[in-house]
Chain A
Amino acid sequence: MAMAALRREGRRFAPLISPRPITAVRSSPLYPTLEDEGPLGLRHISTQVVRNRMKSVKNIQKITKAMKMVAASKLRAIQTKTENSRGLWQPFTALLGDLPSADVKKNVVVTISSDKGLCGGINSTSVKISKGLHKLNSATGPEKETKYVILGEKAKAQLVRDSKKDIELIITELQKNPLNYTQVSVLADEILKNVEYDALRIVFNKFQSVVSFVPTVSTVLSPEIVEREAESGGKLGDLDSYEVEGGETKGEILQNLAEFQFSCTMFNAVLENACSEQGARMSAMDSSSRNAGDMLDRLTLTYNRTRQASITTELIEIISGASALEG
């Protein structure tokens, strides 16, 4: 029965055990070496392969655990900033409303993504939503055009592949310095200067909680479209009732307002996306370390089985050798 069990074990570890006749010379089971063709036909069962695997998996587990800690601390730092900036876009939505379905000719989709990877699926979601918006706008009519402004390497990699001609501007390395309003307003200024737009749609992942990120689209309309919507009534109908103080013309104030709205919504969007990125990275690294732990457990079992099988084989050889001598 033991022989049958051993034969079963032997078949399972066929690649490790070389089928050689039993010889007198063998290495001690305490120091198993790589499977080797010794000059006298030595047979060693190699645990080296499994041990190497275990070492690398353990290292990976340590690295992913460390990355999770780093992401958690970065998240804590940026989360307070994000929550403080949430009040910034609300007055604009209260005044100008939210018109994602406004019918405009020149759409610009500003996709916000991360520069670094290993953060789960948030960048793919943003890119899918941006492509969806592109499709939505093109479906409404032939003269509608949609251009992309890309923030972050990951969206660039995905969008350059099939929408290269639609990309207006690519901005990377946003988070080299800590995010602040001055930087974002300069960025917003660049975008407004270089891109003609009727409506800007900012696509980002809003941070609900450490495990939940909601893809969101914020729409900023150009002053001409705002005037048009105000005249046609509906959502912005009571915009005309607002007195405009200062400036030469109402148009000038609306222009400043649109630019300010864009920079404020961009600031909030960039912060929310950074928070989502860190949160997603935390959960990705957490599941990765858990997987590594599981893999390590399974490898340990395999290692022990191999080791015990080799010990048993040695013993059987000795015993059968001894019984052959006697009998």
Chain B
Amino acid sequence: MLRRASMLLACRSILAARARPFSTDLPAAPSADATFTEAWTKVIPNMDPPKTPLSFMQPRPPTPSSIPSKLTVNFVLPYASELATKEVDMVIVPATTGQMGVLPGHVATIAELKPGVLSVHEGSEMTKYFVSSGFVFIHANSFADIIAVEAVPLDRLDVNLVQKGLAEFTSKLSSATTDLEKAEAQIGIDVHSALNSALTG
């Protein structure tokens, strides 16, 4: 990830040349940090103030005046960064309101994801992932952040297990007594039917 970040640094002309992505770079908006550090040093003069996440992050570029040609996508999972600042043509995300296509210049949006298929279109190639749930933030500067709890490429899914899971959760729903059990069974059914349609459709 460090290598990708440094490649990205080389081609980004907007940012000044910075050496290490995780060093304490100048924060994007120093005002909040400054008030915090000032307040801290006033009350607790003996200790250094703790760092905040802003100092560990690379600032995002501002909104360009014309629509850029590519969409920059960050697709992160708790265990890995699947795509880190990858420039693509389009992504289709399974939002709760349906499949949403995101192109460069899309209006800034916050959308919650439902279980479904996420596809990334780059030139002629398309990569599909099944996403369990998460959020997608589309920023005005054609940056898309997709944060998913779990995502697998479609070829890793087993049709038989999906069918079995669907049957199991349907039976659980019919035998559920408490609201909690009903909700859990319903979630299971939703995910498995989405898996089913992802594999067949």
Q: Which chain A residues have a beta carbon within 8 Å of chain B's beta carbons?
A: 81, 83-95, 97-101, 128-129, 132, 135-136, 139-140, 181, 185, 203, 206, 208, 214-219, 235, 238, 241-247, 253, 256-257, 260, 264-265, 267
Across the interface, B74 reaches (CB within 8 A) one of A87, A215, A219, A257, namely A87
| Interchain residue pairs A-B with the least CB separation, the first 7 | A91-B145, A246-B96, A87-B81, A245-B111, A181-B78, A98-B54, A87-B76
> In the complex, what distance in Å separates the CA atom of A181 from the CA atom of B79?
8
Query: Which residues of B lie under 8 Å from residue A247 when comparing CB positions?
Result: 96, 112
Query: Which residues of B lie under 8 Å from residue A216 when comparing CB positions?
Result: 50-53, 56
A219 touches B109 (CB 8 A): no
Q: Which chain B residues have a beta carbon within 8 Å of chain A's beta carbons?
A: 1, 22, 27, 29, 31-33, 35-36, 39-40, 42-44, 47, 50-54, 56-57, 60, 74, 76-81, 84, 95-97, 100, 107-112, 134-135, 137, 139-140, 143, 145, 147, 149
A253 touches B112 (CB 8 A): yes
B1 touches A86 (CB 8 A): yes
A101 touches B78 (CB 8 A): no
> In the complex, what distance in Å separates the CA atom of A139 from the CA atom of B47?
16
A243 touches B109 (CB 8 A): yes
Distance in angstroms from A239 CB to nearest chain B CB is: 9
Across the interface, B57 reaches (CB within 8 A) one of A83, A93, A135, namely A93
Interchain Cβ contacts within 8 Å, total number: 150
Distance in angstroms from B134 CB to nearest chain A CB is: 8
Query: Which residues of B lie under 8 Å from residue A215 when comparing CB positions?
Result: 50-51
A219 touches B52 (CB 8 A): yes
> In the complex, what distance in Å separates the CA atom of A260 from the CA atom of B145?
14
Closest to B48 in A: A215
Closest to B85 in A: A87
> In the complex, what distance in Å separates the CA atom of A98 from the CA atom of B108?
19
B50 touches A95 (CB 8 A): no
A208 touches B22 (CB 8 A): yes
Across the interface, B112 reaches (CB within 8 A) one of A100, A129, A203, A246, namely A246
> In the complex, what distance in Å separates the CA atom of A84 from the CA atom of B32?
28
Query: Which residues of A lie under 8 Å from residue B96 when comparing CB positions?
Result: 245-247
Distance in angstroms from A272 CB to nearest chain B CB is: 10
Q: Secondary structure of the B side of the interface?
A: mixed
A243 touches B57 (CB 8 A): no
Residue pairs across A and B with Cβ atoms less than 8 A apart, 19 shown, are A83-B1, A85-B79, A88-B78, A90-B53, A90-B74, A91-B137, A92-B147, A93-B57, A132-B40, A136-B39, A203-B50, A215-B51, A216-B51, A216-B52, A219-B52, A241-B108, A243-B107, A245-B111, A264-B147
Query: Which residues of A lie under 8 Å from residue B44 when comparing CB positions?
Result: 132, 135-136
A91 touches B52 (CB 8 A): no
B32 touches A217 (CB 8 A): no
> In the complex, what distance in Å separates the CA atom of A140 from the CA atom of B33?
17
A245 touches B52 (CB 8 A): no
Distance in angstroms from A315 CB to nearest chain B CB is: 61
Query: Which residues of A lie under 8 Å from residue B95 when comparing CB positions?
Result: 245-246
Query: Which residues of B lie under 8 Å from residue A257 when comparing CB positions?
Result: 110, 112, 135
Closest to A239 in B: B110
Query: Which residues of B lie under 8 Å from residue A132 when comparing CB positions?
Result: 40, 43-44, 47
Query: Which residues of B lie under 8 Å from residue A135 when comparing CB positions?
Result: 43-44
Distance in angstroms from A295 CB to nearest chain B CB is: 33
Across the interface, B43 reaches (CB within 8 A) one of A87, A139, A246, namely A139
